[in-house]
Structure 1
């Protein structure tokens, strides 16, 4: 284990964005750019702050971590940290893992609304009709007057509700790990799900993937959803039992719009690709034009706190 003196000597900051593209970075560090290339830009043992490359596979993201013996902060550019948690045991005692809460709110909430509207209004079918040069008018459900249940009411869940507000929904119901009150109304605990699911026309998943939420949307959950309801997943694929969802889709009882899947990437030939009533997008909730300016601000702000010895934001775990 590195001594306090050795850890203070580590002054390298690894960034997945070229440092000269981020305005306002604090002085006192050596900034190096690494976006998961085969070669490291510097000795990992001298890294004090590791900003994890975005949208890279787990193995690549974790690869340098076991050699970062003096790292004091690991910052993801994702709201979920399930891909980095396996590396927590490799981090020196006291090192902090921070997520990117708030970074993807706008982009992910936009996609959630896109998936809801596209699914309800039958946009995939219209696109296929356009490809075939066929005029196929169809009567479709609207979002107006629907009851929407948001499962996972953190910053992304709240941002989704912001965007639902103009659509004249009959009701928006919020679910989180624990109950609390907000200016919009109550947030129900997960234990209320069985009673609330049958009332929802649209169920949006925005919860992190944890031991408590893995497989949360299984056979019982889906069976409680009303016939004809739409399941939207912008969380993580592992929150949903894929086999159980496929059974509901193939029966025609439920519909789904999925930005994340299990497995992911969804392999060619997987039955989800062609299941009836499903819209699949390739995990694009975060990567949009909204990402880069917000990522730069997050890294600048966290590094400013780090340089000043102030508590970092969004700390989700600390190494033993």
Structure 2
């Protein structure tokens, strides 16, 4: 008897998968195409297509009556969670912890440095053959607030250490101690925001973080502060951010937006003091080998009947 495994990457590209002979697995490739590779009712392990959007991600779920595992290739699972109510109990949802931390942290640092040091203006100056000399803000001696201190938040802090920041402050859903120091609870944000020169968002999108960056949040940021978002677009209230950017009081560097993709003509494209990248935090040369390793390791665990890694929740 075979067990259907749906993978979002070609199975023959992933070295070291459990062999069909030893595991009974039948590997099927599905990257979100209109046609399913087989009957969803026979799928036991579902690897969610990467960067295909929530509509594609959840489309086969109602028919997956034999499903036991959902594995995303993203750190966030907000595109899948709303559809889990269609499933039977005991389905484990796993995220891609270990795949995106390095790349996303790199981009968070890149956006921070580029925005502070005026790199977008230099590029425009080069296009116009203008020598735009002057003094620009440095990251050195700045106070940085990391909102969302999970694996990605910790990776961001590791990359900030050589840049001689005056202070790095960590915030997560609840307070705790770490090897680097204290992590503050989200409830402490109002008192922490006025002291931060740079606020980096790396929190998951949940009911408690949706529109976390509201008009009140932004108003508490100090004059001249920089907001960097490598989390999810909906963590930020776009209208509130636009209103604040128009005043010129703060600036922003955004890898994610709401709506996303940001449509042509949207006012955020040309808002003063904003730098936008097209949600490429995890889309680097580091992605594929790490995604392969994750899928290989998880399927070995699944074949052996052992505990899976990175389980976010189990359906009731």
C-alpha distance in structure 1 between counterparts of 2:147 and 2:36, whole Å: 40
**2:40 corresponding residue in structure 1:** 44
Q: What is the TM-score with the length of structure 2 in the denominator?
A: 0.97
C-alpha distance in structure 1 between counterparts of 2:78 and 2:10, whole Å: 25
Q: What is the TM-score with the length of structure 1 in the denominator?
A: 0.96
For the Cα contact (< 8 Å) 1:10–1:45, is it kept in 2? no
> Residue 283 of structure 1 aligns to a residue in which SS?
coil
C-alpha distance in structure 2 between counterparts of 1:213 and 1:52, whole Å: 23
2:146 maps to which of 127, 144, 150: 150
**2:92 corresponding residue in structure 1:** 96
> Residue 145 of structure 2 aligns to a residue in which SS?
strand
For the Cα contact (< 8 Å) 2:10–2:29, is it kept in 1? yes
C-alpha distance in structure 1 between counterparts of 2:171 and 2:40, whole Å: 41
C-alpha distance in structure 1 between counterparts of 2:109 and 2:226, whole Å: 12
Q: Gapped runs of 5+ residues in structure 1?
A: 1-8
Which stretch has the larger CA shift, 119-128 or 129-138?
Answer: 129-138
- Structure 1 residue 319 displacement after superposition: 1.8
2:300 maps to which of 284, 294, 304: 304
C-alpha distance in structure 1 between counterparts of 2:86 and 2:310, whole Å: 20
> Residue 138 of structure 1 aligns to a residue in which SS?
coil
1:26 maps to which of 14, 18, 31: 18
2:114 maps to which of 111, 118, 121: 118
> Residue 187 of structure 1 aligns to a residue in which SS?
strand
> Residue 48 of structure 1 aligns to a residue in which SS?
strand
For the Cα contact (< 8 Å) 2:223–2:249, is it kept in 1? yes
For the Cα contact (< 8 Å) 2:233–2:258, is it kept in 1? yes
In the comparison of the two structures, how many residue pairs are matched? 312
Residue 70 (1) aligns with residue 62 (2): no
Equivalent residue runs for 1:220-299 within 5 Å: 220-299=216-295
For the Cα contact (< 8 Å) 1:107–1:288, is it kept in 2? yes
C-alpha distance in structure 1 between counterparts of 2:215 and 2:36, whole Å: 45
Residue 15 (1) aligns with residue 11 (2): no
Residue 209 (1) aligns with residue 201 (2): no
For the Cα contact (< 8 Å) 2:248–2:272, is it kept in 1? yes
- Structure 1 residue 92 displacement after superposition: 2.2
For the Cα contact (< 8 Å) 2:2–2:26, is it kept in 1? no
**1:141 corresponding residue in structure 2:** 137
Which stretch has the larger CA shift, 166-175 or 61-70?
Answer: 61-70
C-alpha distance in structure 1 between counterparts of 2:167 and 2:18, whole Å: 46
Q: Gapped runs of 5+ residues in structure 2?
A: none
- Structure 1 residue 10 displacement after superposition: 6.2
> Residue 280 of structure 2 aligns to a residue in which SS?
coil
Q: Any idea what the Cα deviations from partners look like across 1:264-305, whole Å, max 9, x if unmatched?
A: 111111110000000011100011101000000110111111
C-alpha distance in structure 2 between counterparts of 1:125 and 1:91, whole Å: 50
